[in-house]
Chains A and B, each alone.
Chain A
Amino acid sequence: MTQFSKFLVSIIFLLIGCNFYAQQEVVVSLDVVNIQTVKLNNYSKGYKILTLKDSVILNNSQSFSSLLRYNSPIYIKEYGSGGTSSASFRGTSASNTAVIWNGININSINNGQTGFNSLNVSLFDEINIRSGGGSIEFGSGAVGGTIHLNDELHFGNYVKNQLVSSVGSFGTYHNLYKFSFGSESTAIKLGLAYNKSKNDYKWLGYDVKNENGAYHNTDFSFSIAQKLSNFSKISFYTSKYDGNREFSGQLPNPSAAKEKYKDLSFKNLIDFNFKKNESSHTVKFAFLKDEYQYFANKNNANFNFGKSKRYILNYDFNYKISSNSSIESFSEMESVFGKTDQIKEKNRKQFSQSFILNQQIENFGAFNAKVRKDFNSEYPMPLVFAIGAEIKALKNSFLRFNGSKNYRVPSFNDLFWPSLGNKNLIPESSIQGELGLGFKTNHLKIDVAAFLIDTKDKIVWKPGADPERPGVWTPVNIDEVENKGLEFLISYKKNIAKHIVNFNANYSYTISKDKITNQLLPYIPKHLLNGTVGYSYQKISAFYQHLFNGEIFTTTDNLDDYSVPYFNVGNLGVNYNLLKTKATQLNIGIKINNLFNKPYQVLPGRPMPNRNINLNINYKF
Chain B
Amino acid sequence: MKISKFLLSLFLLCIIVVSCNNDDDAPALPKGDYENGIFITNEGPFGTGSGTVTYISNDFSTSQNSIYKTVNSEDLGNILQSLIFNNESVYLIANVSNRLVKVNRFTFEKEAATIENLNNPRYAAVASGKLFVTNWGDSFDDTDDYVAIFDAETLVYESSISVDFGPEKLIVLGNNIYVAHKGGYGYNNKISVIDITSKALTKTIEVGDVPNSLVIDNSNNLWVLCGGKPYYAPEETYGTLEKINTSSYEVTTSFDFVDSHPSDLSYTNGKLYYQNSGGVYVMETSSSALPSLSIIADSGYSVIANDDYIYVTDAKDYASSGEVRIYNLDSKQLKISISTGIIPGGVYFN
- Footprint of B on A, CB under 8 Å? 79, 249-253, 255-256, 258, 296-297, 300, 302-303, 418-420, 462-463, 469-472, 522, 554-557, 559-562, 603-606
With A252-B75, A605-B78 in contact, is A554–B321 under 8 Å at CB?
Answer: no
Query: Is there a chain A Cβ closer than 8 Å to B125's Cβ?
Result: no
A and B contact pairs by CB, cutoff 8 A, 8 listed: A79-B47, A252-B77, A258-B138, A296-B139, A296-B140, A462-B317, A556-B317, A603-B48
Partner of B99, one of A253, A258, A556, A559: A253
Contact with A along B56-75 (1 / 0, CB 8 A): 00000000011000000011
Q: What residue of chain A has the Cβ atom nearest to residue B315's Cβ? A: A463
Q: Which residues of B contact A302 (CB under 8 A)?
A: 140-141
Q: Which residues of B contact A418 (CB under 8 A)?
A: 232
CB distance from A552 to the nearest CB of B (A): 11
With A252-B74, A253-B97, A562-B342 in contact, is A554–B45 under 8 Å at CB?
Answer: yes
Q: Are B141 and A469 in contact (CB under 8 A)?
A: no
Complex Cα–Cα for A556 and B342 (A):
10
Complex Cα–Cα for A109 and B1 (A):
43
Of the candidates B48, B76, B139, B342, the one having the most CB atoms from chain A within 10 angstroms of its own CB is B48
Main secondary structure of the interface of A (DSSP, over half): loop
Partner of B317, one of A252, A258, A296, A463: A463
Q: Which residues of A contact B96 (CB under 8 A)?
A: 256
Q: Which residues of B contact A463 (CB under 8 A)?
A: 315, 317-318
Complex Cα–Cα for A353 and B55 (A):
60
Complex Cα–Cα for A252 and B99 (A):
8
Q: Are B77 and A554 in contact (CB under 8 A)?
A: no
Query: Is there a chain A Cβ closer than 8 Å to B50's Cβ?
Result: yes
CB distance from B297 to the nearest CB of A (A): 13
Q: Are B138 and A555 in contact (CB under 8 A)?
A: no
Q: Which residues of B contact A560 (CB under 8 A)?
A: 1
Complex Cα–Cα for A297 and B76 (A):
23
Complex Cα–Cα for A303 and B320 (A):
32
Q: Are B342 and A555 in contact (CB under 8 A)?
A: yes
Q: Are B78 and A250 in contact (CB under 8 A)?
A: yes
Contact with A along B224-236 (1 / 0, CB 8 A): 0000001110000
Q: Are B48 and A256 in contact (CB under 8 A)?
A: no
- Footprint of A on B, CB under 8 Å? 1, 45, 47-50, 65-66, 74-78, 94, 96-99, 115, 138-141, 230-232, 278, 299, 301, 315, 317-321, 341-342
**7 shortest A-B CB distances, which residue pairs?**
A419-B232, A302-B140, A557-B320, A256-B98, A556-B320, A297-B138, A604-B49
Complex Cα–Cα for A249 and B50 (A):
12
Q: What residue of chain A has the Cβ atom nearest to residue B98's Cβ? A: A256
Q: Are B45 and A562 in contact (CB under 8 A)?
A: yes
Q: Which residues of A contact B138 (CB under 8 A)?
A: 258, 296-297, 300
Complex Cα–Cα for A516 and B30 (A):
46
Complex Cα–Cα for A296 and B185 (A):
12
Q: What residue of chain A has the Cβ atom nearest to residue B118's Cβ? A: A256
Partner of B231, one of A296, A303, A419: A419
CB distance from A425 to the nearest CB of B (A): 17
Q: Which residues of A contact B317 (CB under 8 A)?
A: 462-463, 556
Q: Which residues of A contact B319 (CB under 8 A)?
A: 522, 554-556
Q: Are B99 and A256 in contact (CB under 8 A)?
A: yes
For the complex with contacts A562-B45, A604-B50, 15 further pairs of A-B residues with Cβ separation under 8 Å are: A79-B48, A249-B97, A250-B97, A252-B75, A253-B98, A256-B98, A296-B140, A297-B139, A462-B317, A463-B317, A471-B301, A472-B232, A556-B319, A557-B320, A605-B48
With A557-B321, A559-B320 in contact, is A420–B98 under 8 Å at CB?
Answer: no
Q: Which residues of A contact B99 (CB under 8 A)?
A: 252-253, 256
Partner of A561, one of B48, B66, B115: B66
Q: Which residues of A contact B76 (CB under 8 A)?
A: 252
Q: Are A253 and B77 in contact (CB under 8 A)?
A: yes
Q: What residue of chain A has the Cβ atom nearest to residue B48's Cβ? A: A603
Complex Cα–Cα for A472 and B315 (A):
12
Q: Which residues of B contact A561 (CB under 8 A)?
A: 65-66, 341
CB distance from A475 to the nearest CB of B (A): 14
CB distance from A582 to the nearest CB of B (A): 52
Complex Cα–Cα for A92 and B62 (A):
39
Q: What residue of chain B has the Cβ atom nearest to residue A84's Cβ? A: B47
Of the candidates A79, A258, A562, the one having the most CB atoms from chain B within 10 angstroms of its own CB is A562
Of the candidates A252, A420, A472, the one having the most CB atoms from chain B within 10 angstroms of its own CB is A252
Q: What residue of chain A has the Cβ atom nearest to residue B4's Cβ? A: A560
Of the candidates A256, A303, A462, the one having the most CB atoms from chain B within 10 angstroms of its own CB is A256
Q: Are A251 and B140 in contact (CB under 8 A)?
A: no
Q: Are A470 and B278 in contact (CB under 8 A)?
A: yes
CB distance from A607 to the nearest CB of B (A): 12
CB distance from A515 to the nearest CB of B (A): 15
Q: Which residues of A contact B78 (CB under 8 A)?
A: 250, 605
Q: Which residues of A contact B45 (CB under 8 A)?
A: 554-555, 562, 604
Partner of A555, one of B115, B139, B320: B320
With A256-B97, A559-B321 in contact, is A250–B48 under 8 Å at CB?
Answer: yes
Q: Are A251 and B232 in contact (CB under 8 A)?
A: no
Complex Cα–Cα for A559 and B78 (A):
18
CB distance from B45 to the nearest CB of A (A): 6
Q: Which residues of A contact B141 (CB under 8 A)?
A: 297, 300, 302
Complex Cα–Cα for A429 and B159 (A):
57
Q: What residue of chain B has the Cβ atom nearest to residue A604's Cβ? A: B49
Complex Cα–Cα for A463 and B74 (A):
30
Q: Are A253 and B115 in contact (CB under 8 A)?
A: yes
Complex Cα–Cα for A582 and B329 (A):
89
Q: Which residues of B contact A252 (CB under 8 A)?
A: 50, 74-77, 97, 99
Q: What residue of chain B has the Cβ atom nearest to residue A208's Cβ? A: B115
Complex Cα–Cα for A470 and B45 (A):
20
CB distance from B186 to the nearest CB of A (A): 13
Complex Cα–Cα for A134 and B318 (A):
34
Complex Cα–Cα for A300 and B185 (A):
16
Q: What residue of chain A has the Cβ atom nearest to residue B44's Cβ? A: A562
Of the candidates B65, B99, B342, the one having the most CB atoms from chain A within 10 angstroms of its own CB is B342
Of the candidates B75, B76, B141, B317, the one having the most CB atoms from chain A within 10 angstroms of its own CB is B317
Complex Cα–Cα for A554 and B52 (A):
15
Q: Which residues of A contact B65 (CB under 8 A)?
A: 561
Q: Which residues of B contact A562 (CB under 8 A)?
A: 45, 49, 342
Q: Are A300 and B232 in contact (CB under 8 A)?
A: no
Complex Cα–Cα for A472 and B230 (A):
10
Q: What residue of chain B has the Cβ atom nearest to residue A251's Cβ? A: B75
CB distance from A276 to the nearest CB of B (A): 55
Q: What residue of chain B has the Cβ atom nearest to residue A565's Cβ? A: B1
Q: Are A606 and B139 in contact (CB under 8 A)?
A: no
Of the candidates A250, A419, A420, A469, the one having the most CB atoms from chain B within 10 angstroms of its own CB is A250
Q: What residue of chain A has the Cβ atom nearest to residue B317's Cβ? A: A556
CB distance from A414 to the nearest CB of B (A): 15
Of the candidates B45, B230, B278, the one having the most CB atoms from chain A within 10 angstroms of its own CB is B45
Q: Which residues of A contact B315 (CB under 8 A)?
A: 463
CB distance from B291 to the nearest CB of A (A): 20
Q: What residue of chain B has the Cβ atom nearest to residue A296's Cβ? A: B139
CB distance from B77 to the nearest CB of A (A): 6
CB distance from B100 to the nearest CB of A (A): 10
Q: Which residues of A contact B301 (CB under 8 A)?
A: 471
Complex Cα–Cα for A560 and B341 (A):
12
Q: Which residues of B contact A603 (CB under 8 A)?
A: 48-49
Of the candidates B1, B74, B321, the one having the most CB atoms from chain A within 10 angstroms of its own CB is B321
Q: What residue of chain A has the Cβ atom nearest to residue B45's Cβ? A: A554
Q: What residue of chain A has the Cβ atom nearest to residue B97's Cβ? A: A253
Complex Cα–Cα for A251 and B77 (A):
7
CB distance from A115 to the nearest CB of B (A): 15
Complex Cα–Cα for A79 and B315 (A):
24
Complex Cα–Cα for A258 and B119 (A):
11
Complex Cα–Cα for A554 and B47 (A):
11
